[in-house]
Structure 1
Amino acid sequence: IPIFLSETPRLFDENILPLDAALIQVSPPDKHGYCSLGTSVEITRAAVRNAKKIFAQINRNMPRVHGDTFVHMNKIDAYVEYDEPLVEVDYSKEISDIDRIIGKRVAELVDDGSTLQLGIGTIPDCVLKSLEDHKDLSIASEMISDGVVSLMEKGVVTNRYKTFHPGATTCTFILGTRKVYDFVNDNPNVLVLDIGITNDPAQIRRNPKMCAINAAIEVDLTGQVCADSIGTMHYSGVGGQIDFMRGAALSEKGKAILVIPSQTSKGISRIVSTVSFYIYS
């Protein structure tokens, strides 16, 4: 879809893509009848706003997360109670020595008092592990994972200087292991918000020293970057990298940082004269 990820809620809000039904997964209702969308708000919030019918799976393994997550049982047309484990991702088992070196180098670029957005993958996780000696960091990200937990518990992340929801870590979805899912459960210091808000460059740029740290697949000498595809093959879906890179570049003393190993595991250069039209691994 030729669209910025921050604009996707408009497809539903403006009826460009009409929704007959939304299938959602939620936490059990609280004593007031409110369920939580839990770990994943992103465009689901817009779907709930606009769908003619809402069908829910109530899963006791879904954490009750604060923010723009709550859906009252009266809004749900039909539901099924079915408990199953949430999807877990653990990149710590895949980290290489090169990833650790890059993580340390990137951490050196982050000033105390910065607001961070980190993408998904081994290198962003290594960056988080290398930030434990920093002070007064903030998180205003598209996603958070396990690495954010230890920084918040150790007082490295205070969310003191951010202007977008100061005092709270903000994101639009959470992906990691049970460690982060348990941490965010009923934690008022973590807010999960609509992606049209978290990924809006106008909101992102409000944070001084905004650092957007994202991984890429390939970069060429003209500055073109491949992050979603490998040649003609889509490697990932439409992401928020561009939203945050733009917002960080516009932020006062902000930094837009792309991280990439110089070679693939097969020794093929990721730094090329022109971005590839072929597929490699």
Structure 2
Amino acid sequence: MKQLFPSPSLSSFSVGPLTIHFYALCIITGIAAAIWLGRRRYANLGGNPDDVSEVAIWAVPFGIIGGRIYHVITSPAQYFGSNGNPIDALRIWEGGLGIWGAISLGAVGAYLYFRTHKTSLNFRQLLDSLAPGVVLAQAIGRIGNYFNQEVFGKPTELPWGLEIDPVNRPDGFESYATFHPTFLYELLWCLVVAVLLIKLPGFLKKITSNQGDVFTLYILGYTLGRVWIEGLRIDEANLILGLRLNIWVSLIVLVTASAYLIANKRRGNTKENHIPS
């Protein structure tokens, strides 16, 4: 008998007059995990862990707004096309946060905090402390895609193929029942990156010893996986020269992060023992 990876029948539940969406719970859980791990790593560097909690008050709202803006800009037809509804752009709980927008604007929010408040460590040390927690949060957030039956890939008959309800199948794929669970692939990839950043500080010091490089390695590790995972996805996306926009963005980020890491290595060590364990 063919094995199926079934999608959940519910994406939310009600408590009195409140409707609680599993996607939102996953995002909140991921944020909490990132703050918890970031506080521990920041303290290991000699910083006051309360800095991490306070910067989150700025970074999290900026990140959510940035993630949503990126998603809407890169998938405009879903909201402004012939069958779209612009109001849906505000319904974040239904899914749709672009990681590049979230990281970029979230970093801006964190930087603004550091520019306006006195902190125990510098901004690059904060980024290094947060890197494993951020990618862990991404992994947890991908569970929300499972409940929303979204972010899946091409049809497949593999045993772990994801069963998708007909109403959620893209145009042209109505006759297929099971698809690649690309959100699961990304979840597993993110967990591997998080573990490597946490468990291999000795190895990391062999290839980098400058502040900010651990965060750069997170960017490199994530984008390496995102490129091939993105290639499996079949949800609507803008194409440039036949490739999805997110693949081009990932490639640009990958090259930029690599160049930054190489340049930092050539500059030499700026401070010792900056990599938290």
Task: Please indicate the TM-score interval, normalised by the length of the shorter structure.
Answer: under 0.3
Bigger strand share = 1
Bigger helix share = 2
Q: More relative contact order in 1 or in 2 (CA 8 Å, sep 6+)? A: 2
Please report the TM-score for the alignment, with normalisation by the length of structure 1.
Answer: 0.26
Please report the TM-score for the alignment, with normalisation by the length of structure 2.
Answer: 0.26
